[in-house]
Structure 1
């Protein structure tokens, strides 16, 4: 299948998707877009990582779970995690 045929096939498939599934496709495409390289000079502008933070400081990154697979994800974590070695 050449590029033109593949694009036609994808366009036909996109036209048949529900708005919810179309949003998922858009999110996927966003995730595989090439990331522009970061200039090394811009890295110098970043503030340093501060150590000694407490868990309360991480709450600003917390969000609510979206989806119905929380139990499956938790089971996967329990099945695949390794024991801690000190």
Structure 2
């Protein structure tokens, strides 16, 4: 979406908002402006890249034993909420 089209869309949306919602938009814009003028945050820490070509055995150093009595419940949750992988 071009800059002009985006501005026009926002103006149309603002024209349709009731006063209480417009107040929320104004507060949000104020917070955005204060963030950009405040002291800049330190840059994100760069992490080492994931090494490709490693084997599952390399992950064993991170493995532990399960502690707790909710293993079945956790597995059920994972099965219900995971999404299919796309490669």
TM-score in terms of structure 1 length? 0.42
- State which structure, 1 or 2, has the greater radius of gyration over its C-alpha atoms: 2
TM-score in terms of structure 2 length? 0.42
